[in-house]
A and B are shown apart, each in its own frame.
Chain A
């Protein structure tokens, strides 16, 4: 009997292509070697979404690049907007108006919340829990409505956070609407915690990433925080006005998929806390620097180079921008957190899991093919 089983297992070696056109994978492929039900090895196969943004940006002025930077990650466009704007601000040596800083923080945190809601949604569908997916996308729409009101675009703000500040002031009554939506989001968090048993059953003990491996493989953001490292760019290296707010960095020590899920839930609560404080302290004044009010900036971008880091919802995002004084960046390196989460970390974690757990492991890393491929 055992002999028969063994020979059957031997005969069941095969390659499985998970993605890039798979409903559970996003625009990204993983080549899996399977033995029976178990993954023997995994090789990431990116490139399906490669658009060469780094090169494109070398041929465009910052106001155009601000629009391109939306597309760096579909699910958190405003965070990438902010990162690009900060790089140009620093190159030009602009200190943006106070009110703009607060508005930037508010929209960036809203963007982080909706990105985490999507994370909950796709992780739900990754473990076959359809209701969670529908819940998530329903509640996400409240935030998209806010984005439409504030930026004019639901998913892509088309460069709302632009070099020098933000393009428009908050419309009348925006503060109350944001607070109303935050109430709705708290409802969503309650629901996430309510559905916890499903996640517990599927995710506990799955794909454990130790702190040693997390550092070795270059994990950042929620992934490394779930493995026991207390780090967050918003605290380590405060940008905009994050140093004025009171919030916690959630840390867990288990390092498994369930810990990562819990980090996501906790981070949404912290983001709500930040937005409430920012709305309370929101100062009056202009929202964009005088020099950059018009689409073509008056002063050219001086020569120089900057490395700007931000905490985007998936981890550490960074822009390395070099200017040669021509007005267009000479070189633009974009560091997306998913680059390392989807190549070394994913390949490492998928080894040895069951086929049915592949989507769960995959989505527990909160990944976005768009910022990997760029």
Chain B
């Protein structure tokens, strides 16, 4: 008998253009294009994935892409589906999922906007969450050298006690 993961994967593959794999029990990973994201997420929510467990971004510097991941949990089926989609690193714009997961998605997108600089179109509030008066680039980018930034911004070469950081 096919497991519930296999049944689910078959169902989603027949409806959308996705690359799916079953990692283990209760873990399914789906990769899709940016254009398919909202229809896929809408369908998933209808299938019972009402809990957005997390929303994360990975910076693939060498490839020049950001990968946005949505970790969705279904209380009924007890499956965690991760939807992954890649967007351009130079122009990071993606549609917001606030209309689906409401304030939950709103808070997560707000955090990711601050840390990676991704624009979520349709999110009503993308004001900074953690950082105050931050002038540097989005800090979680792979090409952001925080050691250099801290040296330049917060230490003084002339100060005897702080000169060690420059040696």
The chain A residues found within 8 Å of chain B, CB to CB, are: 46-47, 50, 52, 54-55, 215-218, 220, 229, 231, 236-237, 305-307, 309, 316, 318, 320, 322, 330-331, 333, 335, 339-340, 343-344, 348, 373
Contact = CB atoms under 8 A, between A and B. Distances in A.
A230 to B, nearest CB: 9
Contacts of B58: 322, 330-331
A46 B13 CA distance: 40
10 contacts: A47-B130, A47-B131, A50-B131, A215-B50, A216-B102, A220-B51, A307-B82, A320-B56, A331-B59, A335-B53
The prevalent SS among residues of B at the interface is mixed
Contact of B75 (A229, A330, A340): A229
B78 A236 contact: yes
B66 to A, nearest CB: 11
**Leading 10 A-B pairs by shortest Cβ distance:** A218-B104, A344-B103, A333-B56, A47-B130, A335-B54, A50-B130, A343-B107, A331-B58, A216-B102, A217-B103
Interface residues of B, number: 34
A interface SS class: mixed
Given A46-B129, A55-B140, A348-B103, A320 B78 contact: no
B115 to A, nearest CB: 8
A220 B51 CA distance: 9
B152 to A, nearest CB: 17
A326 B106 CA distance: 33
A343 B107 CA distance: 7
Interface of B: 23, 26-27, 29, 50-54, 56, 58-59, 69, 71, 73, 75, 78, 80, 82, 101-104, 106-108, 111, 129-132, 139-140, 146
Given A46-B130, A47-B129, A340-B104, A218 B52 contact: yes
A306 B56 CA distance: 13
Contact of B53 (A47, A309, A348): A309
A340 B55 CA distance: 12
A217 B102 contact: yes
B56 A217 contact: no
B27 to A, nearest CB: 7
Contact of A54 (B23, B53, B140): B140
B107 A340 contact: yes
Contacts of B82: 307
Most chain A beta carbons < 10 A, residue from B50, B73, B82? B73
A307 B106 contact: no
Nearest to B147: A59
B131 to A, nearest CB: 6
Given A55-B139, A55-B140, A216-B104, A318 B54 contact: yes
A318 B104 contact: no
Contacts of B101: 216, 218
A237 B106 CA distance: 27
A89 to B, nearest CB: 13
A137 to B, nearest CB: 30
